Amino acid sequence: MGLFSRKKKNDRDSKKDEAAPDAPAAGAQSPDATEAVGETADATAAGRDAGDGASDAPDAAGDGTSEAAPEHPDAANASAGDAPSVNISMTSFQGLGSTGGEAAPAQPAQEREPAPTEQPAARPPLPGAPAAPPTQVETVPGLRDNALVRDALAALPEKPTGAQVMGVIRQMLQGHLYLRVQGDARKTLSEGGQVTFGVAKAGDKDYMMVFSSGAALRDAVKADGDTQTSAVAQPTPALVRHLLSGTFAGIIVDNYSSQRRAVLPREVVERAFDQADSELRLKSLLAQPRDADTPGKISELLAQKPPVWVAVGEVNNDAEESEQKKFGIAEARLADGTRLLQVFSHPLEVVALGRPEKAMPLAVDKIAKMLKDHPQLGGLLIDPAGPLMTLTRDELAPVIAIAE
């Protein structure tokens, strides 16, 4: 995992003429009035070594080389008018992580299909994703994409809503993103030096620049033609920690990729990651390609008690209006009637469903006890907005075993 530290501006500028590997593509764009800051990485280098440095992330860079996707670190257009801008409604992030009241496990709320007419105006649903993670994980040979973020960006319209951009942040809660750095990052790091990565300036504000895929890196090289650069993969938690340790106003993702880019304000990113598992373990595992061992791996991870959430809503009943409202935890039902408790890796996963329930943190110990005490529950449905995973009671044996 990389460690970051700022350098003085005169030190940063002195690195602009460093040698670097050949570029796969070139073009022309002039980066005006931009600036680079320093970053030190312990074990993450460009290309093939970048995969090792981000090995704790499911989509960590794989078999690339430092020559695979060079690009210019002096980031995007300088003026506020040229910089990409997306307004995100902060109200779309309200009501998350509520401590709520005690939900009644024996009376889960019935699953409700998303219905746009039922959505509160202040919290529109976030974009969903396929049930299984993407299988196309490279757009440039040798560079492993963060496929969930890449695909979320590709789905953005010309003028995305706040909820649609929050959907990009939802998919950032796993995996890695790329920094574009000056020179040959592998060589610089092996010699114990610092690498400098691109920072976009908009007025008096600095934005970190990151890239979701090899294609996004290639777009940047085509835009400015700077071949004296390379790419470094970093786990998203490391990037966010660096963002919050400095004065950055936010993150720009895939800035050179036309409408397939997003500007993420610092406050929104901070809140999303503040509520997340610091290691993003569950979301990361759900994002990995599936195999026969995946259910067992997820169950074993749940037994380690990562933070999880449930969706709490009003239970439909025939009680008169004068009676006290009852609340329960949302569940899903399979075609054969099997009941599955819905569990979420982050509050945004609840928002993504566009339903009236609210996210409530619930310890895995309590979920284990619910499964133990209610044999009619057939298992769990995790992150139904996608990528999702269903686990049967048999597969959840390590979790049920921790019940008191």
Domain boundaries, position 352:
93-121+281-400
Domain boundary among 259, 274, 289: 274
SS3 (DSSP) at 332: strand
Region 174-202 average pLDDT: 87
SS3 (DSSP) at 359: strand
Q: How would you label 107-124 residue by residue, b for 16+ Cβ within 10 Å and e otherwise?
A: ebbebbeeeeeeeeeebb
Domain count, the chain: 2
pLDDT band of residue 306 (cuts 50, 70, 90) is very high
| Residue 380 reports pLDDT greater than 60 | yes
Q: What does the chain come to in residues?
A: 404
Q: What does the alpha-carbon distance between residue 330 and residue 342 come to, in Å, rounded to a whole number?
A: 6
Same domain? For 157 and 306 the reply is no
Same domain? For 240 and 211 the reply is yes
DSSP 162-183: HHHHHHHHHHTSSSEEEEEEES
Same domain? For 298 and 231 the reply is no
**Amino acid letter, 249:** A
Q: Residue 149 contacts by C-beta under 8 Å, 6 or more apart in sequence? A: 168, 171, 172, 175, 177, 212, 213, 253
Q: Give the per-residue pLDDT at 185.
A: 79
CB 184 within 8 A of CB 19: yes
Question: Look-up: residue for tokens 């990485």?
Answer: 41
Same domain? For 131 and 172 the reply is yes
Shortest CA distance to 184 belongs to which of 233, 229, 232, 226?
229
Domain boundary among 243, 274, 305: 274
Structure-block tokens of residue 73: 């670190």
Same domain? For 213 and 177 the reply is yes
Same domain? For 36 and 151 the reply is yes
Could you give the C-alpha distances from 50 to 196, 235, 268, in angstroms and in order?
A: 15, 10, 27
Same domain? For 144 and 246 the reply is yes
Q: Give the per-residue pLDDT at 258.
A: 82
Region 194-212 average pLDDT: 90
Q: What does the alpha-carbon distance between residue 377 and residue 383 come to, in Å, rounded to a whole number?
A: 17
Q: What share of the chain is helix, strand, coil (3-state, %, to 5)?
A: 25, 20, 55
Q: Give the per-residue pLDDT at 141.
A: 95
Q: What does the alpha-carbon distance between residue 367 and residue 22 come to, in Å, rounded to a whole number?
A: 53
**pLDDT tens figures, 313-359:** 988 655 555 567 788 999 999 999 999 999 999 999 999 999 999 99
Same domain? For 55 and 144 the reply is yes
Q: How many CA atoms lie within 13 A of 135 on its CB side?
A: 4
Same domain? For 213 and 285 the reply is no
**pLDDT tens figures, 50-84:** 222 222 222 322 332 223 333 333 333 333 334 44
| Residue 184 reports pLDDT greater than 50 | yes
Domain boundary among 215, 250, 274: 274
Same domain? For 354 and 372 the reply is yes
Q: Give the per-residue pLDDT at 365.
A: 96
Output 317-323 pairs: Cβ under 8 A, ≥24 positions apart. Answer: none
Model-level pTM? Answer: 0.72
Q: Residue 291 contacts by C-beta under 8 Å, 6 or more apart in sequence? A: none
CB 197 within 8 A of CB 180: yes
Same domain? For 306 and 249 the reply is no
| Residue 187 reports pLDDT greater than 90 | no
Q: Give the per-residue pLDDT at 330.
A: 94
| Residue 107 reports pLDDT greater than 90 | no
Same domain? For 115 and 141 the reply is no
Q: Residue 253 contacts by C-beta under 8 Å, 6 or more apart in sequence? A: 149, 153, 168, 172, 177, 210, 211, 212, 261, 262, 264
Q: What does the alpha-carbon distance between residue 295 and residue 301 come to, in Å, rounded to a whole number?
A: 10
Q: Give the per-residue pLDDT at 318.
A: 57
